[in-house]
Amino acid sequence: MLRSKTFLKKTRAGGVVKIVREHYLRDDIGCGAPACSACGGAQAGPALELQPRDQASSLCPWPHYLLPDTNVLLHQIISAWKPGTWASVASRLRPPGSLETYIEQEQGENANDRNDRAIRVAAKWYNEHLKRVAAGSQLQVILITNDRKNKEKAVQEGIPAFTCEEYVKSLTANPELVDRLACLSDEMNEIESGKIIFSEHLPLSKLQQGIKSGSYLQGTFRASRENYLEATVWIHGDKEEEKEILIQGLKHLNRAVHEDIVAVELLPRSQWVAPSSVVLDDEGQNEDDVEKDEERELLLKTAVSEKMLRPTGRVVGIIKRNWRPYCGMLSKSDIKESRRHLFTPADKRIPRIRIETRQASALEGRRIIVAIDGWPRNSRYPNGHFVKNLGDVGEKETETEVLLLEHDVPHQPFSQAVLSFLPRMPWSITEEDMKNREDLRHLCVCSVDPPGCTDIDDALHCRELSNGNLEVGVHIADVSHFIRPGNALDQESARRGTTVYLCEKRIDMVPELLSSNLCSLRSNVDRLAFSCIWEMNHNAEILKTRFTKSVINSKASLTYAEAQMRIDSAAMNDDITTSLRGLNQLAKILKKGRIEKGALTLSSPEIRFHMDSETHDPIDLQTKELRETNSMVEEFMLLANISVAKKIHEEFSEHALLRKHPAPPPSNYDVLVKAAKSKNLQIKTDTAKSLADSLDQAESPDFPYLNTLLRILATRCMMQAVYFCSGMDSDFHHYGLASPIYTHFTSPIRRYADIIVHRLLAVAIGADSTYPELTDKHKLSDICKNLNFRHKMAQYAQRASVAFHTQLFFKSKGIVSEEAYILFVRKNAIVVLIPKYGLEGTVFFEEKDKPKPRLAYDDEIPSLRIEGTVFHVFDKVKVKITLDSSNLQHQKIRMALVEPQIPGINIPPNVPDKDLNGPGGKKRKLDK
């Protein structure tokens, strides 16, 4: 049935146009009940049970269906799901445009009231309809609404109606469901007789006016990992001087949560402060006692030089909450029989959350998920509710699930919709596949990868041409052949963005059939590839470059060690070895040339675990050994990425997906320059070239590890490299590689960015056709934003996995004493690096319930004086390493000073600290 509305509208030019809006109402929508004679065969399939299971409700003892109103359903979904994911659900919750239940908006009726009325009409229709379907039964539809007026009107109209809380509490067989109820509002959940702690958030209309006038600034709130009383707000906009606003103190933080979009008011310059060098954990004091917080805030305010002050502000309102479900543990209340407890999130940037639960004893010692519902002004912590029990703390499966959830890594099995787009097995290359493709199976191609690698992205070859020049090829898995634009497989790969490598498992971006089989360039099988082939002279100068889709047959899958052994062995002169030697010689020349242009050679400690084959527990831990062959592969991957970047930008100046590395602001280098100066070395940072040169020259014959430490510190000064669309940016430069243009082409099995680059390159050489999204710079820019987020989260998840396995290793190893070097000095601690394990940790000098030593911190040198002993950056110390299990929530590696000897500070190297492992062990403030 068609209904239409007609109205007149005046245009800007003064004319009048007639607008006709048509509304189609269906008369073929079934009620969803099976075998419903009234609906006939109209319904595609039953959605309701004829006799629903008895819910054992004290309010509704008869069989019933539930019809929640939109606000109830969305409120419960929002409270437990990530922001944005509920939007697709919302579109499916609207009352159907059915002939029987359609209503038009009345004059003076707002959209919400019309929606409530439509739901009541639907409930009433269902009750009348079901009487006919199930004659003689008491089957009813019950409306669930938290809107008082909606409930009153429903009751007046003869519709059974209850609030969500009333109904859930009536379920006598499932009392635990009460825990999962989302709180209604901040005001309704204020702590009884609690005093006001925070200032009121300004309404959105005032915030928008203030942002427009410049009174307030809008940005993303980022809580500190090291100090719960400090945060920064990254301002949205182009004003470089207002890029970052510092927020200090509980009241100035004003109930903002990490990643919220907030409005901040800049404080007068006289109230600006410097970032604190104090490490502060929230020690879980009484949830409403803010006096301790105020005392601790005094520690943040120390005399500093004018140049160290940063623009400082306070949060005046929340523009958008970006809450998500949080993993962590319950901190059970000391009050017997109490239902109110504090939840401590695993992420230290998230505040504790106050929840009510009857299951506290059962949830103690387990990882759980909790959602925030609101944060009243008179509560020290936000309110929330229990969502899910993940399992026992410390169990590998549970901890892996936590780190994947906390870093938002999509890790569910691939759906059938996704898998349906995979090729059918057995698969082989067809004549159709060979169109626009070159047969390179005769070439002596081989791959070089870490041990155990099954997702082989790249392979190489080098051979001498008849003219005396060299032909070098980089052959990359042609993943874009199997993943076509827009289908479910492509959408899922785009969502995941990257493969995530944990210590003992891999979360694939694409299904295993592709990642470890059809796309993996394994030896002695035909594989589809995308090849970048250069003609070079013996000085590694590129004479010609060409790109082609190809078929290859790798002659060997080598590890770095195996490839190195071939190169070094005088007895081996076969084609594979000759090819590797040629590649290695060229790679050395290419690397030398890059470094001369100002490319940085930085360092970061990487560790490798040796796992027990049965238990999969780490039994050995060591730093990764890098060989010439690592560098050889890296050089040709870099060269391929640069060559492809130039090509796709030539063809698609506005739509190329590129990767850039911004130059760090000068202030980032302060810590590096000061650290070098403390060892009488000068580091110049005005250009990447001067930084590279001064790092090369910063050596000490008496301290060979010093140069590595400086490069590790230099790495910490760098900005994050990011993907971007060429049409949305003007700065393409890659600072670290000293390259004017760069992209990612060489790892399409594990990076979605490379798949897009493959598609662009294929169109550029006429090997494939384009599609609309590929040449839409706004859509490409959105893809880049997701990729940047996914890559950052994958990096953090990887680090978290290393941290957890390091804990397992030291748990079995017991007490260990090792030499370490100081990387940073803090006001109350030193951060050290243990080269043997590539392990970093913090040694604290102020501990709860122990006499405080005399500490004097100097930020200019930088140095920390403790009871007459002075510590500088890069000083050698000896530390004791133990696993601190006193706090189950944050078990961590604890480091204590063994040498140099300081009275009252040192702990004997082989004596366990009773406070750590005893039954009455107290929580220690330790952070990495």
How does DSSP assign 442-458, residue by residue?
TS--EEEE-TT-----E
Give residue 204's pLDDT: 92
Name all domains of the chain by residue range, CATH numbers in brackets.
Answer: 46-180 (3.40.50.1010), 193-282+305-322 (2.40.50.690), 416-663+719-796 (no CATH), 814-899 (2.40.50.140)
Check if the beta carbon of residue 163 is closer than 8 Å to that of residue 150: no
How far is it, in rounded angstroms, from Cα 745 to Cα 124? Answer: 60
pLDDT tops 70 at residue 77: no
Give residue 41's pLDDT: 42
Report, as an integer, the average pLDDT of 597-605. Answer: 81
pLDDT confidence bin for 42, thresholds 50/70/90:
very low
Following DSSP, what letter does each residue of 655-689 receive, concatenated? Answer: T-EEEEBPPPPGGGGHHHHHHHHTTT-----SSHH
Report, as an integer, the average pLDDT of 826-852. Answer: 82
Give residue 120's pLDDT: 86
Q: What is the tens place of the pLDDT at every residue in 103-137?
A: 777 777 777 788 888 888 888 887 777 776 666 66
Q: Between these two residues, 767 and 901, which has the higher pLDDT value? A: 767
How far is it, in rounded angstroms, from Cα 912 to Cα 925? Answer: 18
Nearest alpha-carbon partner for 38 in 142, 125, 140: 125
Identity (one letter) of the amino acid at 89? V
In a 3-state reduction of DSSP, which class is residue 75? helix
pLDDT tops 60 at residue 2: no
Report, as an integer, the average pLDDT of 778-800. Answer: 94
The residue assigned the tokens 């000073």 is: 897
How far is it, in rounded angstroms, from Cα 644 to Cα 50? Answer: 62
Cβ neighbours of residue 44 closer than 8 Å, sequence gap 6 or more: 30
Indicate the average pLDDT of the chain: 83
Q: Specify the range with the lowest mean pLDDT, choosing from 760-769, 845-854, 871-880.
A: 845-854
Q: Please give the structure tokens belonging to residue 41.
A: 């065969």
* Bridge pairing between strands 140-144 and 64-68: parallel
Give residue 616's pLDDT: 64
Report, as an integer, the average pLDDT of 201-230. Answer: 92
pLDDT tops 50 at residue 209: yes
pLDDT tops 90 at residue 359: no
Identity (one letter) of the amino acid at 63? P
Q: What is the tens place of the pLDDT at every residue in 733-758?
A: 999 999 999 999 999 999 999 999 99
| Whole-number Cα distances in Å, 43 to 33, 98, 129, 261, 264 | 9, 13, 15, 45, 54
Give residue 178's pLDDT: 72
Q: Specify the range with the lowest mean pLDDT, choosing from 85-89, 693-697, 719-723, 920-924.
A: 920-924
Q: Between these two residues, 157 and 648, which has the higher pLDDT value? A: 648
The residue assigned the tokens 């039994």 is: 619
pLDDT confidence bin for 153, thresholds 50/70/90:
confident
Q: What is the tens place of the pLDDT at every residue in 286-315?
A: 555 666 777 677 767 665 667 778 899 999
Give residue 85's pLDDT: 40
Of the CA atoms within 13 Å of residue 97, those in its CB half-sphere come to 9
Strand order in the sheet with 64-68: 64-68, 140-144, 161-162
pLDDT confidence bin for 914, thresholds 50/70/90:
very low
Report, as an integer, the average pLDDT of 826-837. Answer: 87
| Whole-number Cα distances in Å, 540 to 462, 592, 720, 804 | 12, 11, 30, 44
Give residue 655's pLDDT: 94
pLDDT confidence bin for 724, thresholds 50/70/90:
very high
Report, as an integer, the average pLDDT of 191-216. Answer: 86
> With a threshold of 0.85, does the pTM exceed it?
no
